[in-house]
Structure 1
Amino acid sequence: MATEVMDEIIVQKSEKLEQIQLATLLLKNQHSFTYKDNIQENLIRAKTDVSLMAEGIRSLRKNLEELKAENERCKEMASLLEKLNSKIDHMGKNIPPGIKDYFNVQEKSGPKNGNLNHENEENVSPANFTPSVHSSMRDCKKSLFNEPAEVCPLLAPLTEQEFAKIPKYIIGRQTLDAVNSLASSINQILKAKYTLLSLGKDGARKKGDLDLYLEYKKQQTSVKEGEGKIYFFTAEDYQKHTSSKLDKIKLNMLTALRSCKRLREIRIGKLLYYMVVP
């Protein structure tokens, strides 16, 4: 379309130039100063029009180059989308069993109509998941992100709804962040303790922690509940790893964690064990 318009303009200007040439010949014969002035004006106008045409052509060329660049980027994007679509198809055909189990559990525990409202979203918290759901989630993470297996269950952080239900005489002036910070410290203690136990006697000897390993092993064999394995820590474990004691404030926060079903106390003789609730 732009080419046709330019061709039309060029034809018009050519006709005008022919008229100017004819007028010039007449002026030479008649020596009329009036005609000379008209020719000069027409030439100036023609020059201006030609300059505008040249500017328009440059602008069109610039736009054309930009369109070419956009076209190349669109081709690259289409190629990337095709590769991504191929990966998605491959992932859909090779879903790990752990993920399938997780979604099967969700479908069984979720609402029949398949819609989740805000109330259901609040109820779906780490504290409300069953052990089988926790296991399925861990399997999903391992399959997708190649995460190492956890050596022991860890404390899930408290939600605002759980924290609000803790009686004031237990929690006092402590904040949700303070309670979750203590839970995070406990998780580090549990990881260190059960990582050492997972090394075995020879591994602990090579690491130089054989005595600590034997102490942990003795505690572990003395604490039994049913047929499942118990994961716990003691006040001595806390002091050993954090270089601080479980004072009254921290003991109150442990009571808060117990009320939210994160911990349980097991007393054997004079020893008190804080067991992780799976």
Structure 2
Amino acid sequence: MATADLNGITFHINTKISTIKKSLQLRKIDEEPSLKTVLSKIVHEMFLLNNFLNQLELECHHQERQQNQLKELEESLEKDYNEAQHLMENIPIHLPKAILNSAVGLTVKNEEQHRDVEADRAKKPAKEAKCIKEAPFITAEEFEAVPAYMRGRLTYNQVNAVIQEINKAVVSKYKIMRQPAKSMSSAARNLYFRFQAEETKDTKGEFFIMEADIEEFRQLKADKRFHSVLTILRHCQRLREIRSSYLVRFAVC
């Protein structure tokens, strides 16, 4: 992360903290009706600051992982370079010239054959398997724009955790749908027939799940909080409902 960005983040955090400190200096705020709006503002500012710190923590973890990966890559490259340097410095000088020339010719021939094979593969591209569609995570800006009555006490991380579980359930379902019938277990075959029965003309080409699928594949209860998260996901256009035959299907947008 650049120094300018860190300075900007530090300034932003200090500004938020200063705002909260100034607001808390007001005495008996809960006893005067005229100052209740100030208390509400304090709560809102603390909520925004908490979300911002969570986002900063996630970014720090991401940068740390990238740094570790770069360090591992550097060590691997250094090892390969040392091995190549050793090979170059220890080439046997007693190899017969004819054998050396023959080996060089064989290498060139193999390289030409390899290029021909690659060219044939390029002319006949393999069919790519259709990916299973997953719902993107909610951004911090989107979560803050969600109306307060929808959010309730839900946090940004809780909403994205539910999205992650829903995506895993979708992947598990459609892996069964694409599995050859001969390789299915009895339980998987029963699920497959149930999934087929839930398909309608409105679900053609859609990736969807139902509450039963979430409870089947993930340890996630379809309780009141879960339905509150679904409301947010529909609001943010991550899921949409498909209703028919008294059944509710949640399709990935």
Tell me which structure has the larger Cα radius of gyration: 1
**What is the TM-score of this pair, normalised by structure 2?**
0.48
**Using CA pairs below 8 Å that are at least 6 residues apart, which structure has the higher relative contact order?**
2
Normalising by structure 1, report the TM-score. 0.44
